[in-house]
Each structure stands twice: as structure tokens, then as C-alpha cells.
Amino acid sequence: MLLYRSMIYLESLNDKQKEAVLYEKGPLLIVAGAGAGKTKTITHRIIHLIHQGVKPSAILAVTFTNKAAKEMRERVLALLGERVHGAQSESPFVSTFHALGVHIIKENAHLIGLTKHFAIADEHDALVIIKDAMKARDIDPKQYEPRKIKSIISKSKGDFVTVDTFNQNANSSLASVVGLIWRDYERALKNEKALDFDDLLLETVLILKKYPEVKQMYRERWQYIHIDEYQDTNEVQYELVKLLVGKDENICVVGDTDQNIYSWRGANIKNMLHFEKDYPDAKIILLEQNYRSTKNIIEAANSVIGKNQYRMPKTLFTENKVGETISVYEAYDESYEAKFVASKINELLRDNNPEDIAILYRANFQSRILEEALLAEQIPYQVLGVKFFERKEIKDLLSYIRAAYNRESLSDIKRIINTPTRGIGKVTLVKLFANQFADLPATMQIKINKFYELLGDMKDYADIHKPSEAIKFVIEKSGLEEELSHGTSDEQERLENMRELVTLATKYDGMPEGVGMEKLLEDASLASDQDSLIHKKDDKKQGVRLMTVHASKGLEFKYVFITGLEQDLFPHTNGSKTKEDSEEERRLFYVALTRAEHKLYLSYATLRTIYGMKQVNSPSEFIYDIPSHLTEREKSSGSSGEKIIYI
């Protein structure tokens, strides 16, 4: 093909990208800044290797998400054209880490007592097994929360810790319980001939370690290895990669220490920082040219991330236009902030499509007030994740309130009678709803009576207190607060979302007794319905995007709003103020900044209602990291809502 004879595929690359593509032998570390074309570089390098005579099937490329793997695979195949004739065996092996694990385990399943048709236990399946194990051992799920146990097991496996190693080092009552349940959990998986997601990687590593001939087989099969987003690898993934690298050390890893934002799920930035120690002959190439953003945005991003210590130094640059200044808006409170965002978006929609615009926030609970403002302006939007009133914890809270006022609401009773766990099983519920209460054992009758007494207490309290106070009461007395407050980061986020419902309820506190709560329940239902209607009449691809900064990684938009830039919210303290945590928060802000192509809007609220109480906030330290000549500041008066613009 002419494409290969002329090497025309090199013409679209800059000098550094071309250098990375043409480097054929030995270890290679590509430090790729945001918007620097890393996927393009990897795919073109794979094409070049094939052009140089490397068999496509000798090339392995691994990334983290199915979407990224699909994109890379399609790009490679498109550039290869008819060369591979669609034959899988003659194509590069492009996959996620977990898919790679499945592939290797299926080919060697007999070595670990499985068949190639082994089952994979998803997160729900895993949690059910853990709950059953706890029940069998009479371990109180209120004292030792099942999700937390699952999280500890998962994190341990990701750190390459086996159940035996874990038990040897157990030094607390929680660790002892985890170790006990973990053994039962593994036994149940074995009985079902199943592996969980973490096992897909851990067992793969164990196979390669235990059977040198298997390891050698894969080293000979995949002579050229490419790893995307290397800064996000955990210990098991790191070990897996090292085991697959052959004596020629033809490994190419691509990543950016400045975009390491997943330490909470095991990502170890040291894996990338120590690449030169692992491979002393490594060549390092910096991809610093950004193709996404304006000069102003890039200068701001460089200024922010330059304050971090744990990073591989680089300085992004771009040949794009200077662009607009960065808008910094000081809102009186979160309501003014949301109205500002909605107002600016309305202006932008005169000349842009909704999907060109993204609103980013540090924590999921922040979406509620923003959704409300967009709905008021009839601006179509999509939440990446779950919309506020559709979140499980919010539905649970609303079900408690509705059931307290209406004990005939069976759907609400079903939802909450065992949330949190009260030991009331499905058989009991069937009899209860069939009016066979008298047939139940005395112990179960007591549990059910206590539940209905709880609903009575909630109604009595709600009848004489403000809606926000009533919801606080429900959160506490239901057991939901206790269940979530000491759990995983996901569980603490769910608790934050419930507390945001308290904040919403303060809007109804001034209404006559009994009216406020009724109106809150009505509005919650209507908000959900209205939202559905808006999305039905618009194309699925249409809508302003709302998401956490974590969810935005890998995406880009013409216009980006970063909201809630207040100290302790963004950066989020999470109860920790270590240097490592502080630097990760800064990396998170850097990721947010570099999602924008044309224009950035930063905003914060002087007052923000948290858990029903107004808090005075300081602007985020990150705002002050941006040189003042790059920004234009606006502020709301708070009383009239008029804006004051100052330089």
C-alpha cells in the first residue's frame, strides 16, 4: 500500500510525536501533557512498527476503559486498512487491563482449577456473597458495614495483598473481621467457579509468577507492549506489566503525572516516577504541545501545576490563539452562582450547541442547585452519572418521609424497611404484605413493630418541626448516617448528597406548619418528571454536560464552568491535609482547567448552605495560583443580583 511505502502517516505528527513513533527498540516513556495527542502518538507508533515488519499480533496495547480501548483499536485498524483483512489473529491485541486478564486466565484456566467458561462476579454479586457470609457468622452489618469490607478486600487485592498476607498483618477488630469474611468470600467464589474483578488481575499475576513457561510464552507472543495512562496503574497492574516485558524491554508507557487523580482507588504515581529506575536504558520524550486550548488557558494550567513537587517537570505550550481571559465570578451564595452559570450558558447557546458546554464540580451534591437553575431557564442538560433526585440515597430519604405520612405506600415500605439492614428478609415481606403478620415469628414481629414505630416517630417530629430539621432527624434516626459516615469515599459522598437534601429543604422552612414538607415531596416528584420531559423532546446527544471533575478526565469542551471553588470544597479536605492529598487536589484542578478549548469560567460562593447551615467561605487557593493578568473578575451584590466587574 502507498500509505506504508511513503510513511505518509508521519506527516501529521510534530517533531516530538515523530520521535516517539520512530523509537523502535528498548523502553520508552512518553510524558504526554493534556491535549498533546497521546492516543494519536500510540496508534501511529503501532502502525510504524507494523510498517517496519513487526507482526501485528506481536503488539499489545493496554488502556483503562473500554471506550479508550475501542477508540485505539478503531484508529489502528483504520490506518491499517485492508492489511489485516479483519483477521483478529493478525491484529494488534488492544484491550483493557481486565480484558487482558480474562484472556490470559481463559488460556490457562486449568492451572488454577477453572475452565475457560468461569464466571465473573460483578460488584453486586460480590456484595451479596459478603452479606451472606456475614449473616452465616452472625456478624452485625451495622457494626461492620459490608461495602466497607468489600472495599478493603478490593483495595488489598489491588495492592497485591493476598488473604493470607492480610490475616498475618491484621491488627484490629475490623481487620480480623475482614480477614475472616475474606476467607469465606474466596471459598464461595471458588465453589461457584467464579472470579471477581480484582481476581482477574491478581490471578493473572500469580499464574505468570508461578509458571515461568507461561510467562515466557506471552513474552514471545507480545514483543512490543504499550501501556496508556501509566500514572493510573496500581500495584497489581504494575506487576503484570513487568512480568510481560521480555528481555528486549520493548515497552512503551504513556502518561502524565500531572493527571494522576485516582490514588483513592489504588493508583500509584510512583510507578511512573520510578520508570527510569525500573528500566535504566529508558528514553524519555516529552509531548508538551497542546492542541486543545488557548494560550491563556495553557498559561493558567502551567502556573497551577508548577507548584506541585511530585511530578515529572514539563511545560505545556500551544500554537493556538491567545484566547479570552478567564472569568472569575464571586457569588453571594450558591443560588447566585447557579443563576450566573445558567445566564452565561444562555448567552453561549446563541452561537453554540449545548454539548459544547460543560459544568464541572468537585462533589456530586453540587449538581442539585445547578440542575435547578438549568431547569428554570429550560436549558437542556445531561448529568454524567445520576441526577440528584434519581440517586438511591435521595430516593431512600424521600421514601422514609412518604412512608411516615402514608403507611399504605407499599412501594416506599419495600424500599426502606431493610435500608439499612434490619434482618427483615423477602419471605417476611411477602407475608407482611399478604396480611399474614400474625403468622410471623415473635422475633420478626418485634422487628417490624420497631420499624413502624420509627416511622411514627418520624411523622410526629415532622409535624412540629421545619422540613430541614425533619430530614436531619430522618437521616440520623433511620441509621443511614451511622451506616455511611465511616464508610468508603463513595459512601461519604452519598451522605453528602443526603445533607444536600437538607439544604434544599431550607427553602420550605418558612411555609406554614405541615405545608412545607408536602410541597417539598411534590416538587421533588415534579422535578424528576420535568427533567424527563426535557430530555424526551431533545436529541439524546443534546444537552449541557454536568459532571464531577474526576468524570471529566479524557473529555474536552469549548466552554467549561468550574464551580464551587471554595477552600475545603475544592480543594476538598476529606479530613486529610497531607502534602500528597494537597497535590492530588491541585492535579484535579489542573485536569479541570485543561478540559476547556476556548473559554473558562471559574466561580465560588461567599456563602454556601451545608447541611442546612450557612457557611462563610474563602475562595479556593487555586484561584490565586492563576496570574491576575489572565483573569477578569465579577461579583454579585447579593441584594439586587447586579454584577460588579473589576480588574
Residues labelled catalytic: 38-39, 228-229, 259, 595
State the helix-helix crossing angle for 123-136 and 146-158, rounded to 10 degrees. 120
Q: Are the beta carbons of 6 and 259 closer than 8 angstroms?
A: no
Upper half-sphere CA count for residue 191 (Cβ side, 13 Å): 7
Q: Are the beta carbons of 130 and 178 closer than 8 angstroms?
A: no
**Distance between CA atoms of 328 and 600, rounded to whole angstroms?**
9
Quick one: which of 384, 300, 372, 361 has its CA closest to 566?
A: 361
Omega before residue 280 within 30° of 0, cis: no
Q: What are phi and psi of 239, to 5 degrees?
A: -65, -40
Cell, residue 486: 465511616
Contacts of range 156-165, beta carbons closer than 8 Å, 24 or more positions apart: 157/198, 157/199, 157/201, 157/202, 157/236, 158/198, 158/201, 158/234, 158/235, 158/236, 158/265, 158/266, 159/234, 159/235, 159/236, 159/266, 160/202, 160/205, 160/235, 160/236, 160/239, 162/202
Quick one: which of 304, 333, 346, 262 has its CA closest to 561?
A: 346
Q: Collapsing DSSP states into helix, strand and coil, what is residue 417?
A: coil
Tally helices (H) and strands (E) across the chain. Answer: 28, 17
Q: Are the beta carbons of 258 and 301 closer than 8 angstroms?
A: no
Query: Grid cell 490457562 — which residue?
Result: 108
User: Which helix or strand (DSSP H or E) is residue 144 part of?
Assistant: none
